[in-house]
Structure 1
Amino acid sequence: GASVPSRVGLVLVGAGPGAYLLGAAAVVLVNTLLAVAPVRLAHQRPSIADDERAVSLTTRDGYAIEGTATRGADGAGAVLLVHGVADGRDRWLPWVARLRAMRLHVLRIDVRGHGRSDGGFVTYGQRETADVDAALAWLRGQPGVDREHVVMVGTSMGGGTVLAASRDAPVVAAIALAPASSYPRLVAQRTAFLGPLAPFVLNGSAHLARALGQIPMTDWRPTDRMSRTLPFLVAHGTDDGTIPITLSRELAATRPNVSLYELGCGHDDIPAATAADAHWPRMRAFLAAHGLDDR
């Protein structure tokens, strides 16, 4: 997703005793709102080419999810693209161009709370998996799609969402770009500026998260729900200052179904970088290895 002052988001919207605690929580909340709101407005008019169409889906929990579908060749496989936090479906345009050239079917969505989709809350993959499930069901049900050869791809928060959705997803493989695989590590990194107040703010927000039926971000690891058998390609930039590449290195070292591809780029530009001439052959080879080749 786009670089923002705070990626911890609504997880840190919590209150506890004391004016300092409330003040610290308010600072995080304000930073989050200022970061997310303008970006959401910026994604109200997504790009739709003449041969594409707008799609509206309904999730199992009642959210309307908007997306853009690109039709491929009859009998071709399909790819679902999932963006990161404070971003939108058009982040994937470089990938769409590549997949279009392969004549694959493509669906790129705005996850809940983003772009033109319903919702004002970001749960960092906990509930966004329902968006992925609805999108996959729609994609696999389209005429001309080889429903046995579908791959999902996510970046940043979307990468973490893909990890969390993978256990039961009807796909043959998945690609995660700089995935947010462990939020406890990211939360600790992002709240360091609070100093000794950090534990109090995080404890307060954890109580609120539980009251809302969510896993506190201090406990939320998408890898806990990740498939241990689905083939994964994880790509991560060595210059990523938002999500440390060490997370992906640890993931690849502990999960035999994960292959790691490192490239010299930052966080926000990894969708474009992986679609560039220098790195697309690795992405394409992974797709082809799982039945999604040129038509």
Structure 2
Amino acid sequence: MRRTDAGRIAGRAALGAAGGAMLAAGIVAGATAAVAVALARRVITPPAVHEEPERILAVDLPRGEIVLARSDEALMPGRYSFWFDRDAGHARLGEIVEADTKTVRRRIEAVDFGRLERARRGRMNGWLRLGPWEFDHPYENVVVDTDLGPAPAWHIAPEHPRGDWIIQVHGRGSRRQEGLRAVPVARGNGWDTLLVSYRNDGEAPDSEDRRYGLGGTEWADVRAAVAHATEHGAKRIVLMGWSMGGGIVLQAVLRSPEVRERLVGVILDSPAIDWSDILRFQGEMLGLPGELAGVVSGVLGGRTGRRLTGAAAPISLRELDPVARAGELTVPVLLMHSVDDGFVPIAGSRALAAARPDLVTFRVWEGARHTKLWNADPGLWNGQITAWLQELD
């Protein structure tokens, strides 16, 4: 074979190898982009159906016990709601009776509706109470006038109102029942409680795109709630946010002069502060590389990504970073987060506390899961809030 022919063959082989490598790289890039789009859509789309990760192995109603497959959630200390049959059934579970390497046996305190003995899966939830009617004191059904229309809320006053209001903002995929756990401690310290709904949560009016803004749009509904409270006698206001509700609260504080006018403090329970870190953490939980979070951030913030996710406008995670604007905070903050959260990493809370140690009272928990600090130790949780509220007086 002549050298020229050999050269041509070698060149073709090299081109073929390069082409194969480029094709493989293209396939990988395409797959990464597809996964990033799917994750981006997932995080901003309100869940139509909740997952039921807990497996029910046995139910003994006469003895008032349920056996669950061992999991981090099944092993949580305390009392919880337990939803089953795609939220068509609801029970209340008490403390753990027994646990081994494969199972967890818990008390059944009540079955409110549904056939628990027929269920095979369910989910643990921190609400415990289904509504304010379960308290032994009056409440009001009220309406907050938001930019999108009337949003339902509950107002619960203390025995001797004095114009101090706590506005409760629930988290992603949750509803205003989430904040009911804080009503007794608020009322016991003389504070009114307003538990609000916000756009796309299944109770308040939907936005046109029916997508979460991760705090970047929902904050306007908190501004409306503050206006409602002010019109109904609030002189001092504390905003309390759970999970994504914490991020919403911080955006309301940083973006709205009307919110800051009567604001005297902020309470955050397991808050979603650093969305880039949350996306990385949740991606890794799904077995995805941590670097994917940057791609997801690009999808959410890009114009092309907006068409792929269904969002009405790009969502810049950088603009949602309250740590970068921590210098603008002017009121005390009580921040409670567990190192065992399991859903929202504590790193964002640590960063906010480090940025404003003069304002942030940071309570680090251990052994509690996401937004379930009260369930794990109600006495400690109530005590931390009571001590902080008393410092405001």
TM-score by length of 2: 0.60
Q: Closer, same or farther in 2 for the Cα pair 1:262/1:114, shift >3 Å?
A: same
CA distance in 1 between partners of 2:264 and 2:34 (Å)? 47
Report the AA paired with residue 354 of structure 2.
Answer: A
**Deviation at residue 62 of structure 1 after TM alignment:** 2.3
Shift of 1:180: 1.1
Give the one of 317, 326, 330 matched to 1:217: 317
Which one is further off, 26-35 or 180-189?
Answer: 26-35
Q: Is the 8 A contact 1:159 1:180 kept in 2?
A: yes
Distance 1:252 1:241, change over 3 A: same
Decide which moves more: 81-90 or 167-176: 167-176
Give the corresponding residue for 2:83: none
Q: Which has the higher strand share?
A: 2
Q: List per-residue Cα deviations over 1:82-106 (Å, max 9, x = no partner).
A: 1110011111222112223334211
How many angstroms does 1:194 deviate by? Answer: 4.2
Give the aligned length.
Answer: 269
Partner of 1:8: none
Q: Give the deviation of 1:22 after TM superposition.
A: 6.2
Pick from 217, 228, 240 the counterpart of residue 138 of structure 1.
Answer: 228
Q: Specify the alignment match of 1:64 in structure 2.
A: 150
2:359 paired residue number: 257
Do the aligned residues in 2 keep the contact of 1:174 with 1:230 (CA within 8 Å)?
yes
Distance in 2 (CA, whole Å) between partners of 1:222 and 1:138 is 25
- What is the Cα deviation at residue 141 of structure 1? 1.5
Structure 2 counterparts to residues 10-89 of structure 1, below 5 A: 20=31, 23-25=34-36, 27-28=38-39, 36-39=47-50, 47-49=131-133, 51-59=138-146, 61-72=147-158, 73-89=160-176
- Structure 1 residues 197 and 171: CA distance shift in structure 2, 3 A: closer
Is structure 2 residue 376 aligned with structure 1 residue 270?
A: no
Gaps of 5+ in 2: 1-27, 51-85, 89-129
| Cα offset, 1:163, TM superposition | 1.6
RMSD over equivalenced CA pairs, Å: 3.2
Question: Which structure carries more relative contact order (alpha carbon 8 Å, separation 6+)?
Answer: 1
With over 3 angstroms needed to count, the CA separation of the structure-2 counterparts of 1:34 and 1:81, relative to structure 1, is: closer
Alpha-carbon separation, structure 2, partners of 1:217 and 1:103: 37
Q: 1:287 — aligned with what? A: 389
Conserved? CA contact 2:333–2:361, under 8 Å? yes
- CA–CA distance in 1 between the matches of 2:281 and 2:318? 11
Matched, 1:236 2:337: yes
Structure 1 ranges of 4+ moved more than 6 A: none
Q: CA 1:254–1:93 in structure 2 vs 1: closer, same or farther (change >3 Å)?
A: same
Query: Unaligned 5+ residue runs, structure 1?
Result: 1-16
Q: Mark the CA change 1:254 to 1:97 in structure 2 (over 3 Å): closer, same or farther.
A: same
Aligned counterpart, 2:298: 203
1:154 to 2:241 alignment: yes
Contact 2:46–2:211 (CA under 8 A) maintained in structure 1: no
Distance in 2 between residues matched to 1:38 and 1:247, nearest whole Å: 28
User: Which of these residues, 115, 128, 131, is aligned with residue 218 of structure 2?
Assistant: 128
SS at match of 1:248: helix
1:37 aligns to what SS in structure 2?
A: coil
Q: Which amino acid aligns with 1:252?
A: A
User: Which residue does 2:114 correspond to in 1?
Assistant: none
When residues 37 and 79 of structure 1 are mapped into structure 2, their CA distance, relative to the original with a 3 A threshold, is same
Instruction: Report 1:76-115 matches (<5 A).
Output: 76-115=163-202
TM-score normalised by length of structure 1: 0.78
